[in-house]
Amino acid sequence: LERLLGVAKNFGLVTKEYAERGEKVLEAQATELAKLRRERITPKPDIQKALSELGTSVLQKPISFAELMRRNEISYSSLSSLGYELNTDPEVYEPVEIAVKYEGYIGRQSELIQLAKKMENILLPDAFDFSLVKGLSREEKEKLSSLRPRTLGQASRISGVNPSGIQALAIYLKSREDLAREN
């Protein structure tokens, strides 16, 4: 819903009523997510007992309900036993629960995407001598020399060139760049 509602609306693929309903659901999801992040749970005896009954470790300090929900043993519905007022609309709470549970993974994937985009912008010199790069295996040097990638991103997609080789190449390029600035 979040990714496609705007596109569907722009192309006239959904009715005005459906689009309005979708926007209300998205707004309710954002509100619920903000509430989970804002409201905190404190380590009181009744809370600690309820957490133990849910099969999860007790609290050491106050945390948000969103932080608590990242634990495998804690589902959105189990928050009610801890004093949280649940939203009962599955169109709201299901996507919110997924977003909270996978937030860390999604964040790491976003960072990797940004890194890949950045690597596409790092140009390799035309007559670059890959044999000068310490940290590249003989096979990596041969493949890079024969295929002559134009960017670090292209080099990273060559079969047989490992992430450690790309890192060595990036470090070498950075050190060359730093030397050029000093001179």
pLDDT attached to residue 1: 80
**Per-residue pLDDT for 142 more than 80?**
yes
Structural domain of 92 = 5-101
pLDDT attached to residue 64: 98
For residues 126 and 97, membership in a common domain is answered with: no
Over the stretch 37-90, which tens digit does the pLDDT of each residue have? 999 999 999 999 999 999 999 999 999 999 999 999 999 999 999 999 999 999
Q: What is the mean pLDDT of the chain?
A: 94
For residues 130 and 174, membership in a common domain is answered with: yes
| Cβ-contact 165, 135 below 8 angstroms | yes
Domain count, the chain: 2
* Boundary-marking domain end, from 66, 101, 136: 101
For residues 93 and 46, membership in a common domain is answered with: yes
pLDDT attached to residue 181: 74
For residues 24 and 92, membership in a common domain is answered with: yes
- In one letter, which amino acid is 120? E
For residues 97 and 14, membership in a common domain is answered with: yes
**Per-residue pLDDT for 177 more than 90?**
no
Q: How much is the average pLDDT of 95-103?
A: 96
For residues 10 and 95, membership in a common domain is answered with: yes
Residues with Cβ within 8 Å of residue 164, at least 6 apart in sequence? 135
**Hey, what's the torsion of the CAs at 159, 160, 164, 166, to 10 degrees?**
-50
For residues 133 and 93, membership in a common domain is answered with: no
For residues 68 and 14, membership in a common domain is answered with: yes
pLDDT attached to residue 83: 96
Q: 178 is written with which tokens?
A: 């730093």
In angstroms, the Cα distances linking 87 to 72, 90, 152 are: 20, 8, 47
| Residue 39: CATH number of its domain | 1.10.10.1800
Supply the DSSP symbol for 131: G
183 exposure class (CB count in 10 Å sphere: 0-12, 13-18, 19+): exposed
For residues 39 and 83, membership in a common domain is answered with: yes
Please state whether the predicted TM-score (pTM) of the whole model is above 0.75.
Answer: no
For residues 18 and 66, membership in a common domain is answered with: yes
Q: How far apart are CA 79 and CA 76, in angstroms?
A: 6
Residue 36 falls inside a structural domain:
yes
